[in-house]
A and B are shown apart, each in its own frame.
Chain A
Amino acid sequence: MTRREMLKRMLQLGGAAVAAIVGLPALILSLAPLRGQRQAVWRKIGNLSAFPVGGVQKSSVPLPHPDWAEALIDQGVYVWRPNPSEVVVYSRSCTDLGCPLNWDPGGEVFLCPCHGGIFAKDGERMAGPPKHPMLRYQTRIREGQLEIDLRSVPPEA
């Protein structure tokens, strides 16, 4: 190897080393949100007796957020109590593209305002582009309080 070839090789290696030392930590930093999202986050929705049997009611739950955040810290959900012993908590996101569903008490349907998705009271698709039924949160009752696991639906919902 000549001196000049050696110099070329060293310049290439030097450039690659600088790129790696700067680029890899930056890349790892940007991937931080992928870590540790699996543990359940249970949130109280309200007293179970506050939700009438047979009805659908809108409710909101606090989201996990940094201490200093004040806005966008609540999320709307729909609670359906088909019978006294059963309760369903729906994500408000349409399963097509995440638009916010509206409960229509007269027609007893969930209407999507974006592309015409319609869901029945039991969350099954009735019309429009959605393919899947409405998403349901994991629920549990603790001391008469209805609770949901926020992490039981996908992160985009």
Chain B
Amino acid sequence: MSKWRQWLEDRFGWLPFKRSFLDRRVGKTPWYYGDGSTLLLLLGVLVMTGPFLSLGYAPTPDQAYQSILDITRQPLGWFVRALHYWAAGLMVVMLFFHLLRQIWVGGYKFPREGTWLIGVAMFFIVLTMSLLGYSLRWDERAVYGIKVALYHFAQVPLIGNALTLFVQGGPELGVRTLTRFYAAHVAFGPLALLALAGFHLYLVVVHGVTSRSEQDRPIHTTQEQKELHHAIKQHPEQSEPFFPDAMAKSGAMALTIFGVVVALALILRNRPLYPEANLVLASEPAEEWWWSWYSALIALLPPNVATWFYWVFPLTLFVVLVALPFADRSPYRGYRKRPIAAAVVVIAAIALVSLTALRQLSPWGGWPNAEPPPVPAGFELAPEVEEGRLLFAQYGCTSCHQVAGWGPPRVGTDLARMEERYSAQELRHYILRPPDGVAMPPYEGRMSESELRRIVAFVLVAQTFPRSEEGP
């Protein structure tokens, strides 16, 4: 060792770290074990971009929204915002991947329970951060996101009211809500995540990852696992140096995902803001896309389930995840001898993807609309039918019904796409008294006989409108 290197080594003590961390041998793993490194890199992107965004952010309701517009106008402000946003979204995706993969390979099994429990804590903190983050934008989507979160807390028995006041910072949504969310997002959350991530990584170094060799045979005790783990590290074929072999593999995955973040940031750029936060204007709020699966899930809940689901579901998820390594004591790791675990992972993955897709096509709800539906080319409406078309809009039918693909999908059936065509008499009856279980108001007593006749005349014609996918 040269004189200079010796001097540096004596003062900065690099060698013990290099020997025990970088030069250590680890069990061989497939490329997708790089999901952990990916999460670490994404956390790094968030921790790097966050403070720079906070240079320009004003956490008060009077200025928060304007200050974000201001950040966006600064040189490359949009790009730093975009990196933060897309890194956050992909972090949630990778987090689910990482969690499901650990269940898939049995990564929570002895002696890695501690690693798992810290991971579970980080899972819930990251999900919380992913809501806190977009609340700070202080647009309409932010305030209603906060309200949805508060409604969850409010459902908790006995302490629901206190929890709501605690999270909201008072009896109204306002300045104290924003300061709380800000503090949680920029101070409490990152501090907790960095500390827990450090601990998590330390335990990964201590216990190693669930390598392929561990999945080949049953392991009955912690002692047995430790001996096997030690043997794998000594084995020339089953192990490899952490640096650079293992790190290059996981780094490749991390850099690929980082590339996706940069590409999304460049192509789709920063998240556009919705109108500034208010509790007065009509608004059609929606969650950010990484929460879509959950939104679709709750839209499908029957009323009797919904109210308790909001606190039972997160709590159950937490309890199940915490209890998992203590409940599953089978000697097998990997998916081959663990059909239940494999099934749970596959079902969860399919559910997450399909619920997300369902949400994007969501036809739930209605929106006040008094604009008459357009008449397709080639249709000449009789005077009575034309009057019916105007009455159709006047009575709010267009708020919920598409007509031949016109308007966004809503809760009501598209009148040109009804499964069966109704007769005039059936339509009259349906409009006056919709059958039980149909989300349509009864018009009995609200419409004159002639109005009803005209609306029915229009609906009869509308049923024959061309069913083009693009609409007229």
Task: Give chain A's interface residues, CB within 8 Å of chain B.
Answer: 30-31, 33-34, 37, 60, 63-66, 69-76, 92-93, 96-100, 102-109, 111-118, 120, 125-132, 150-151, 154-156
Contacts and interface: CB of A to CB of B under 8 A. Distances in A.
Interface of B: 60-62, 65, 143-144, 147-148, 150-154, 161-162, 164-166, 168-176, 276-286, 295, 298-299, 301-304, 306-307, 310, 364-368, 370, 393-397, 399-400, 411, 438-439, 441, 446
Contacts of A60: 280
A34 B153 CA distance: 14
Given A69-B174, A120-B441, A74 B280 contact: yes
B61 A105 contact: no
B165 A155 contact: yes
Given A98-B147, A127-B438, A155-B168, 15 more contacts: A69-B174, A73-B174, A74-B280, A75-B172, A97-B148, A98-B148, A99-B285, A100-B279, A106-B397, A108-B396, A111-B400, A113-B283, A115-B298, A128-B365, A156-B147
Contact of B62 (A69, A75, A97, A150): A69
Given A127-B411, A127-B439, A106 B307 contact: no
Contacts of A99: 144, 147-148, 285
Contact of B165 (A34, A64, A102): A34
Given A74-B279, A98-B151, A99-B147, A113 B172 contact: no
Given A103-B368, A107-B400, A131-B303, A37 B165 contact: yes
Given A71-B277, A97-B147, A114-B285, A104 B165 contact: no
B280 A76 contact: yes
A99 B285 CA distance: 7
9 contacts: A74-B278, A100-B144, A107-B397, A113-B365, A116-B439, A120-B441, A155-B170, A155-B171, A155-B172
Q: Tell me whether chain A's interface is mostly helix, strand or loop, or mixed.
A: loop
A128 B300 CA distance: 8
A118 B393 contact: no
A30 B400 CA distance: 45
A66 B170 CA distance: 12
B171 A37 contact: yes
B365 A33 contact: no
B446 A108 contact: yes
A99 to B, nearest CB: 6
Given A98-B151, A155-B168, A72 B174 contact: yes
B355 to A, nearest CB: 13
A106 B372 CA distance: 12
8 smallest A-B Cβ distances: which pairs? A106-B396, A127-B439, A107-B396, A116-B364, A98-B147, A115-B299, A131-B303, A156-B150
A130 B306 contact: yes
Nearest to A118: B439
A98 B155 CA distance: 12
B280 A156 contact: no
Contacts of B173: 72
Contact of A116 (B277, B299, B399): B299
Given A96-B151, A155-B164, A112 B306 contact: no
A131 B168 contact: no
A113 B164 contact: no
Given A69-B61, A105-B396, A118-B411, A154 B161 contact: yes
Contacts of A128: 299, 303, 364-365, 439
Contact of B144 (A66, A74, A98, A105): A98
A37 B170 CA distance: 8
